[in-house]
Amino acid sequence: MNIRTNRLSRHRTVVLSLYLFCGICYAIAQGTDTLGIVIERATGKVLLVNIIQRASIGEFEGLGDLSHASAVFSRDERYAYVFGRDGGLTKLDLLSGGIASRVVQAGNSIGGAISQNGRFVATSNYEPGGIRIFDADTLKLVADIPATYGSETDPLLSKVVGLVDAPGQRFIASLYDAGEIWVIDIQNPLQPSIRKYHNVGKQPYDALITPDGRYYIAGLYGENGLAVLDLLNPDAGVRRILNSYGRGEKELPVYKMPHLEGWALASNYLFVPAVGHHAVHVIDIGRWEESARIRTLGQPVFAIARPDGRQVWVNYAMPDNNYIEVIDVAQMKIIKQLNPGKVVLHMEFTPGGEEVWVSVRDDDRVDIYNTGTFEKVASIFADKPSGIFFTARAHKIGL
């Protein structure tokens, strides 16, 4: 297949290529900023979508177990790296429509990240516990970092969660079993240096990094509170905040963990899904104190901010997982409730924030809403869709 590329700007490539999907060949001019992928979790497939056309334009097959899949993108937006739950790491060529490379690098994996310069891809693994770093071009293993803790003579391996990229050619991750946060410097990728923060709290289960790359925040499953590392002041160590955050005095069953990568930062406030409660906590990151608490329909799973920071969209764990509620940031209150259908899993804003794509798993649909009018403007068929990822993520920290 011959592909001619014409660089129009630093981040955009227009390609005239021959696409082959489902046995049908067609030529199309395609800008990479218009593309995204949708995970079809039950079938090991990934849809290629065009966000301007609001349409599915192709499908990738043979990606293994995608029940907890996530993805990152190359700097030029041409390639998507999909992290499967079965340890599969697959590099998709969004322009040729084929699988560029694939490795099964672990037995049980929980996501990954791409480095600041786009040269390396890292995976976080449950089994064996640790972090593996790969060359982004070839998927050749560059570094294998076991998540060891405990006795030097009889070390244990921890599950790794909350892996993100950070400025300065670093990856940051949380060790669930060890109660640690590791900062991994890969300026020399063949000999990464690791700074370990011990006793950050019991069972960190997920984490995020703020969009400016300054704060790494880990949630704690084993106790109340959050752990915060200020990357501009790393010698100060990990700070514990919001000791009331967590199960609280009246526990509700936690059907699904809030995903910290789904927390929202808007207008200098973090909008944090409550654990086991019907609420979103609003945290002033200037003081690291709770400034408001917004009552919600159910137990939030994701709270994501529209790119302009004026809205936060929230979805829920069962039995309220057919609904979405929209928070107006200026008013600090819910202004709209939507009922897209059976089991809303993920949401993704278009780069300008004018629309949001919503996966409705049990209705086999991705619905598209106008974020100004809240009207549904289109739907796309997808087989048990979950994660939705647009190529604009290539230029954001922690995504």
- pLDDT tens digits, one per residue of 89-101: 999 999 999 999 9
Name the class of domain 257-338.
mainly beta
* pLDDT at residue 14 tops 50: no
DSSP-assigned letters across all residues of 283-339 = EETTTTEEEEEEE-SS-EEEEEE-TTSSEEEEEE-TTSTT-EEEEETTTTEEEEEE-
Report pLDDT digits (tens) over 197-229.
Answer: 999 999 998 888 998 999 999 988 888 888 999
Structure tokens at 212: 């400016």
Sheet strands side by side (includes 108-114): 108-114, 120-127, 130-135, 141-146
* pLDDT at residue 124 tops 60: yes
Q: What is the pLDDT of residue 28?
A: 52
Mean pLDDT of the chain: 89
Q: What is the pLDDT of residue 251?
A: 52
Q: What is the pLDDT of residue 297?
A: 97
Give this prediction's pTM.
Answer: 0.90
Report pLDDT digits (tens) over 237-257.
Answer: 999 988 877 655 455 444 444
What percent of the chain shows pLDDT beyond 90? 75
- Which is higher by pLDDT, 376 or 3? 376
* pLDDT at residue 23 tops 60: no
Q: What is the pLDDT of residue 273?
A: 87
- Which is higher by pLDDT, 261 or 60? 60
Instruction: Kindly state the average pLDDT of the residues 72-80.
Output: 97
Q: What is the pLDDT of residue 26?
A: 40
